[in-house]
Amino acid sequence: MFNATMFNYQGKNVVVVGGTSGINLAIAIAFAQAGANVAVASRSQDKIDAAVLQLQQANPDGIHLGVSFDVRDLSALEVGFDNIASEFGFIDVLVSGAAGNFPASAAKLSANGFKSVMDIDLLGSFQVLKQAYPLLRRPNGNIIQISAPQASIAMPMQVHVCAAKAGVDMLTRTLALEWGCEGLRINSIMPGPIANTEGFNRLAPSSALQQKVAQSVPLKRNGTGQDIANAALFLGSELASYITGVVLPVDGGWSLGGASIAMTELGELAAKM
C-alpha cells in the first residue's frame, strides 16, 4: 500500500476545497506530507484554523493557509481565490470536495432541501472550478473532484444527492473535453463507505449498521480517509499524466453490487425510524 512518502510534491501548490474535515482533510494532510504547499477552504473559521495547524505539523517547511467561503457565494469565492493567488501565484492541484447530504425520502423532501444539495454539490463545484481555472490553465494543471457512489447507483433517501453527484461526474467529463487542449486534467474519485466521516455516520448511524455495510463490500471492510488520499496523490502525479475524464471508484468493489443492496436495507430501516 503506497502512501504520501512515495510521492514528491515539493514546491507544488495544492488547494483542497472542503479540506477541513473527513475525506478532504485526509487528502490535504497527505499532500502536505508529500511536500506540497496546501490551502484549505471551508465555511467554518474554527475548522480552518485547526486544519492549517495539522498541515503545519505534517509539513513544517511548507506554506499553508486557510480561506473561508461558501461555495454557493460567488463573490466570496472570488475573494478567496484572489487570496490564494496572492499567496501561491498558481495552483498545481485543485481538489474540489464541497458536499452536502442528509437522508430524506423523496416524498418528504422539500424543494428547498433538494435545491440546497444541488447548490452545494453541483453549482458549488462548477463555481469552484471556474474560479480556479485561471490559476490552473496550463500543461500539468490538475483537478480532482470528490464524487460519491450516489452518482451512478440509485439509493433510497438520497434522490437529491444522486441527482447532484451525477451532475458533478458529467461536469468532470465535459470539462476534461473542453480543457484538455490546454494540458489541464480533471478526474473524479468516487469513494465507497469511508469510516469516521460525517456522511457515512449520517447514512449508517450505528456501529451495527456500519458493520452491515462493511460486510456488503467485497473486500469486507469500510474504507479510510487514507485510501482516498492515496488515490488523490496518484491522480495528481505524473504517473497519471495520460488519465483524464475518469470517475475512479475507490470503494473495495462496493459499487459492483453491494452498494445498492446495503443502501436499500438501510433506507428501509431509516423509513421506519
Residue 2 lies in a domain: no
Number of domains in the chain: 1
The predicted model scores a pTM of 0.93
pLDDT of residue 269: 59
- pLDDT the model gives residue 189: 98
CA distance 73 to 40: 17
243 is a domain residue: yes
β-pair partners for 94: 15, 143
Amino acid sitting at position 132: A
Domain that holds residue 179: 8-272
* 184 within domain boundaries: yes
Average pLDDT, the chain: 92
Which runs of E-coded beta strand occur in 150-272?
A: 185-191, 247-250
- The C-alpha cell that represents 205 in the structure block: 448511524
pLDDT at 271: 55
Decide if 16 is inside a domain.
yes
Interval 44-101: pLDDT, tens: 999 999 999 999 999 999 999 999 999 999 999 999 999 999 999 999 999 999 898 8
Per-residue pLDDT, 267: 62
Q: Is residue 237 part of a domain?
A: yes
Looking at residue 35, its pLDDT comes to 97
Which residues, given as ranges, of the chain have pLDDT below 70? 1-5, 260-273
Domain contains 108: yes
The CATH number of whichever domain residue 74 belongs to comes to 3.40.50.720
pLDDT at 173: 98
